[in-house]
A = this chain, B = another copy of it.
Amino acid sequence: MNDSHNAATRQRAFERGASAQPEYDSSSWLHTALLANPKARGLSAFAAPWSFVNGVSATWTILYCVGAVNTREAAMRSFEAAYSLVFTALGFLLVFRLSRAAVRFWECRTCFGNIVVGSRNFVDYLLASAKGREVEAIEDACAWLCAFAVCSKQFLRAQRDVPAEQLAGILSEDDRLRAENARHPPLFCIMMVRRAISRAFGAEKGESVSDAVRGESISRGLNAQVDFLVLNEGALERLRSTKLPMVYVVHLRTFLVGYLLTMPFVFASQWRWGTIPAVAIVSFVLLGIEGSATECEIPFSPDHANHLRMDQYIQAVLLSVGSFLAWDERTDAVASS
């Protein structure tokens, strides 16, 4: 796994993927406030309703200001009052949605962090307990663990392939295809990990009691660590497949669009030509907040700038596994010398 050619191949593959979700420098106001590009702003998530609202706003304002249409001042005042009442509720709903999305984002990130940490604990404990056990089974467990990490990423992104480059030097082409063709690739890899544990530490005919005690305890410990990985991968599947209840989103958006759409009709008589920029700003702010929530709700896409840096996390798993294997060889070399 640690030969330099394959390592470089994998590195290139992960870096290519990771480039779609660049880091940002939060200490630079220039880049975060002024020069942020449309992708980082998640504009696509609210471009449609914004254009619609402002199209209506501009049309009405022009018609009104050139005198083509008229409104009854008195009737408008009731709407204005109703507006201010509704607005607080709207604000609460927006913030509620935004903070739910942020909590979800952070939960997703934590699950990935747990997969990284869980892999480290698994591999380190496995290698520390490996003395006198079948070497091939130990290596298999490590390899399929790496495959699990890569397959989880692909599965969560709804990509059906298991990229050969990212597993170069880890899985044989044959094994890679078996994972790729499985109904649920991450679970398939996990099954292979558990089978490797069984081969290395499982019951053997005529084993001594001491061996049984040692092997069984290690086997159970390793299986518990695998459980932890499955738990986190499963939590990510759950987060990906579950949005806010539809009724929340429908109500919020209905109120939001209704609110913004009627703004020009209510305020044109007071603001006149100022209506166009004022509606543009208010709608950009409010729809922008909703758009941020939508953008971060299911952060599993490979090309959204604000989504999870999954390539980077999975690379961390593989680098850690590689380090432990390298250290283990060197430690063994020292021990046997």
CB <8 Å contact, B29 and A78: no
Chain A positions 164-193 with a Cβ under 8 Å from a chain B Cβ: 182-184, 187-188, 190-191
A27 neighbours in B (Cβ, 8 Å): 45, 294
CB <8 Å contact, A250 and B210: no
Measured between alpha carbons, how far is A226 from B225 in the docked complex, in Å?
Answer: 13
Partner of A223, one of B93, B125, B247, B323: B125
Q: A41-B247, A117-B234, A305-B246 known; A34 and B91 CB under 8 Å? A: no
A76 neighbours in B (Cβ, 8 Å): 274
A282 neighbours in B (Cβ, 8 Å): 82, 85-86
Measured between alpha carbons, how far is A217 from B151 in the docked complex, in Å?
Answer: 31
A296 neighbours in B (Cβ, 8 Å): 245, 247-248
Measured between alpha carbons, how far is A237 from B109 in the docked complex, in Å?
Answer: 12
Measured between alpha carbons, how far is A98 from B244 in the docked complex, in Å?
Answer: 12
Of the listed residues A41, A77, A251, A278, the one surrounded by the most CB atoms of chain B closer than 10 A to its CB is: A251
A184 neighbours in B (Cβ, 8 Å): 319-320, 323
CB <8 Å contact, A251 and B41: yes
A277 within 8 A of B: yes
Among the 9-residue stretches A9-17, A128-136, A142-150, A153-161, the one with 4 or more Cβ atoms under 8 Å from chain B is A128-136
A-side interface size class: 35 or more
Partner of A88, one of B88, B182, B217: B88
CB <8 Å contact, A183 and B26: no
Measured between alpha carbons, how far is A330 from B108 in the docked complex, in Å?
Answer: 34
Measured between alpha carbons, how far is A50 from B293 in the docked complex, in Å?
Answer: 28
Chain A positions 187-239 with a Cβ under 8 Å from a chain B Cβ: 187-188, 190-191, 194-195, 197-198, 202-203, 207-214, 216-221, 223-227, 230-231, 234-235, 237-238
Q: A78-B275, A131-B203, A187-B120 known; A125 and B320 CB under 8 Å? A: no
Q: A86-B285, A246-B305 known; A238 and B36 CB under 8 Å? A: no
Measured between alpha carbons, how far is A29 from B257 in the docked complex, in Å?
Answer: 9
Chain A positions 58-94 with a Cβ under 8 Å from a chain B Cβ: 74-79, 81-82, 85-94
CB <8 Å contact, A227 and B121: yes
CB <8 Å contact, B223 and A24: no
A-B residue pairs in contact (CB < 8 Å), sample of 6: A29-B257, A33-B253, A41-B254, A77-B271, A82-B281, A182-B323
